[in-house]
Amino acid sequence: MSGLTIRNVIKRYGDVQVMHGVDLDIADGEFCVFVGPSGCGKSTLLRMIAGLEEITEGSVSIGARDVTRMDPSERGVAMVFQTYALYPHMTVKENMGFGLKMNGHPKSEIDTKVAEASRILKLDEYLARKPAALSGGQRQRVSIGRAIVRGPEVFLFDEPLSNLDAELRVEMRVEIARLHKEIGATMIYVTHDQVEAMTLADKIVVLRLGRIEQVGAPLELYRDPDNKFVAGFIGSPAMNFLSGKIEGGKVNVPGLQTSVAVPVNMPGDGMDVTIGLRPEHLTVDPNGTTHTVDMTEALGGVSYAYLISSTGEKIIVEERGDLRSSAGDTVGLNFDPARAMLFDGQSELRIR
């Protein structure tokens, strides 16, 4: 078994604390994604699991082994970085086998393991090439191959696709998902890209300022966020937020020029709240008069209409079908109040 148990992990650099007590369980064979904005501590947490950063307080166990103070080489992990760090003078085959060779493994064993990794990653025709003669995607496959060859219990990826162009990223994302299916090892994957998180993860861990905001399956986080931060981070385009106040048991939302009966445990009158509406849950009413269409983006199958309320608040609406808005239109907005989410205006916690 090679799941992970992370208990009250704290990281300080001198006087500056950057991780504030992280508790997390990752199951054996799970694909776990750490996601959050730049600087939230994703790499720090991953590097503490890898043994590349000292764990100031708390513990990390892999399977039944407490690895908190172990060297990286003893932990049974292999890490894939954003930069491929391949040896330029070695062939693909030599790059993949180098770690095992340094550790004195016999040539026959290295050949077998490199051949297996090469088959999984479809690198057979490139084995004799040097890195300079490979595309970015192929280089990253070699660096993943180097990790596979080591046969780790846990794979750690730190933004491995960030250096690739958009098309290749999508391709490699599918490759990594396939790889996980084929070898079934525990994988922890760091990204700031919520689309990567949504498409790859069994479990997403949303981090912010060195703390876990929420842990859940992709659609759990999308459908049932615990707070405004997670609601705004998961989903693209992001959820729309408008200010409101509880009045007469409903949410008075000036930006919508109406009161909304959100079906939640409604707080008392006078409380400041934020209402959240996803672009895909709004429809434009061409006969309405509450909003102005500032601009539109037509992507083909869908368009996004950027609306401005009389309060100056911005709202993005997803539109499909033949009738779509144009810039300058005056429109109204329709939605099912049951789709709206409510957040405490102060704590930003979800009101359910």
Distance CA 146, CA 206 (A): 29
When the beta carbons of 14 and 268 are compared against ligand ADP, the nearer one is: 14
Least CB distance to ligand ADP at residue 284 (A): 37
Secondary structure class of 210 (helix, strand, coil): coil
In the block, tokens 């608040």 appear at: 313
How many residues at the interface with Mg ion, by CB under 5 A? Answer: 1
Assess 191 for contact with Mg ion (CB under 5 A): no
Q: Which does 265 bind (CB under 5 to 8 A by kind): ligand ADP, Mg ion, none?
A: none
When the beta carbons of 67 and 190 are compared against ligand ADP, the nearer one is: 190
Least CB distance to ligand ADP at residue 233 (A): 13
Maximum pairwise Cα distance, the chain:
77
Residues ≥6 apart with Cβ < 8 Å to 73: none
- With beta carbons less than 8 A apart as the criterion, state whether 279 and 236 touch: no
When the beta carbons of 37 and 249 are compared against ligand ADP, the nearer one is: 37
In the block, tokens 């503490």 appear at: 48
Closest CA to 200 of 214, 215, 180: 180
Total residue count of the chain as it appears in this document: 352
Q: Which does 21 bind (CB under 5 to 8 A by kind): ligand ADP, Mg ion, none?
A: none
Among 22, 35, 43, 110, binds Mg ion (CB under 5 A): 43
When the beta carbons of 56 and 243 are compared against ligand ADP, the nearer one is: 56
DSSP 85: -
Least CB distance to ligand ADP at residue 161 (A): 15
List of residues contacting ligand ADP (CB under 6 A): 13, 16, 18, 36, 38-44
H/E stretch holding 48 reads helix 42-50
When the beta carbons of 16 and 64 are compared against ligand ADP, the nearer one is: 16
Binding site for Mg ion (CB under 5 A): 43
